[in-house]
Chains A and B, each alone.
Chain A
Amino acid sequence: MREGRPRSFYVLAVFFAAYVLFLYGPMIAIYILSFQGPQGGLTFPMNGMSTYWLSKLFQGTGIVDLGAAFRRSLLLGLVVMAVTVVLSVAAGMAFRRKFKAQSILFYSAIASLIVPSIITSLGISLEFRIIDDLIKAHWNENFETSMGLLTSGLGAHLTWTLPFGLLIMFAIFNRFDPRLEEAARDLGATPWQTFRHVVLPIILPSVIGIGLFGFTLSWDELARSSQAIGSVNTLPLDLQGLTTTVTKPDIYALGTIISAVSFAVITLALGTIHMLNKRQAAKGSDAGKGLV
Chain B
Amino acid sequence: MDTSDETLQQASPGLARGSGQTRQKAARLSPSFISWLQAGPMMLVFLAFFLIPLVFVVIVSFWDYNEYQLLPAFSGRGYTDTFEGCIAQLPELCTIGKTYVKTLKLCFMVWAITLFIGFWVAYFLAFHIKSKTWQMGLSLLCTIPFWTSNVIRMIAWIPLLGRNGLVNSGLLKVGVIDQPVEWLLYSEFSVVLALVHLFTFFMVVPIFNSMVRIDKSLIEAAYDAGATGFQTLVNVIIPLAKPGIVIGSIFVITIVMGDFITIGVMGGQQIAAAGKIIETRLNALQFPAAAANAVILLAITFLIITMMSRIVDIRKEL
Is B39 within 8 A of A222, CB to CB? Answer: no
Number of A-B pairs whose CB atoms are under 8 Å?
A: 273
User: CA A105 – CA B121 in complex, angstroms?
Assistant: 32
User: CA A266 – CA B291 in complex, angstroms?
Assistant: 37
Consensus secondary structure, chain B interface: helix
User: CA A120 – CA B254 in complex, angstroms?
Assistant: 13
Is A212 within 8 A of B147, CB to CB? Answer: yes
CB closest residue in chain B, given A124: B53
Is A43 within 8 A of B159, CB to CB? Answer: yes
Interface size, A (range)? 35 or more
Is A166 within 8 A of B60, CB to CB? Answer: no
Is B166 within 8 A of A43, CB to CB? Answer: yes
Is B54 within 8 A of A115, CB to CB? Answer: yes
CB closest residue in chain B, given A266: B147
CB proximity to B under 8 Å, residues A1-52: 5-6, 8-9, 12-13, 15-16, 19-20, 22-27, 29-30, 33, 41-44
Contact stretch, chosen from A61-69, A196-204, A256-264: A256-264
Is B121 within 8 A of A120, CB to CB? Answer: no
Question: Does B208 lie at the interface of the complex (its beta carbon under 8 Å from any beta carbon of A)?
Answer: no
With A119-B258, A220-B149, A259-B152: A33-B1 Cβ-Cβ less than 8 Å:
no
User: CA A8 – CA B51 in complex, angstroms?
Assistant: 48
Is A26 within 8 A of B153, CB to CB? Answer: yes
Question: Does B86 lie at the interface of the complex (its beta carbon under 8 Å from any beta carbon of A)?
Answer: no
Consensus secondary structure, chain A interface: helix
Is A216 within 8 A of B49, CB to CB? Answer: no
Cβ–Cβ < 8 Å partners of A190 in chain B: 22-23, 26
Contact stretch, chosen from B74-82, B135-143, B234-242: B135-143
With A112-B46, A116-B254: A23-B151 Cβ-Cβ less than 8 Å:
no
Is A263 within 8 A of B124, CB to CB? Answer: no
Interface size, B (range)? 35 or more
Question: Does B156 lie at the interface of the complex (its beta carbon under 8 Å from any beta carbon of A)?
Answer: yes
User: CA A67 – CA B157 in complex, angstroms?
Assistant: 26
**A113, A182, A240, A266 — which one has the most chain B CB atoms within 10 A of its CB?**
A240
Is A159 within 8 A of B49, CB to CB? Answer: yes
Q: Mark B38-56, 1 if CB is under 8 A from A, else 0.
A: 1101110111111111111
Cβ–Cβ < 8 Å partners of A95 in chain B: 39
Is A123 within 8 A of B54, CB to CB? Answer: yes
User: CA A215 – CA B310 in complex, angstroms?
Assistant: 34
Is A116 within 8 A of B314, CB to CB? Answer: no
**Other-chain residue from B46, B121, B275 in contact with A16 (beta carbon distance below 8 A):** B121
Q: Mark B289-307, 1 if CB is under 8 A from A, else 0.
A: 0110010011001000100
23 residue pairs A–B, Cβ–Cβ below 8 Å: A19-B121, A20-B141, A23-B197, A26-B160, A42-B158, A44-B165, A94-B34, A99-B39, A103-B315, A108-B50, A109-B42, A116-B254, A116-B258, A119-B258, A122-B278, A123-B50, A126-B287, A129-B287, A219-B149, A255-B152, A259-B152, A262-B149, A265-B147
The 3 A-B residue pairs whose C-beta atoms are closest, nearest first, are A116-B258, A123-B53, A155-B49
Known pairs A16-B120, A42-B162, A99-B32 / 19 extra A-B pairs, C-beta < 8 Å: A12-B124, A19-B142, A29-B160, A86-B41, A91-B38, A103-B315, A112-B46, A116-B254, A116-B298, A119-B297, A120-B53, A126-B56, A152-B49, A190-B22, A220-B148, A222-B261, A243-B151, A258-B149, A262-B149
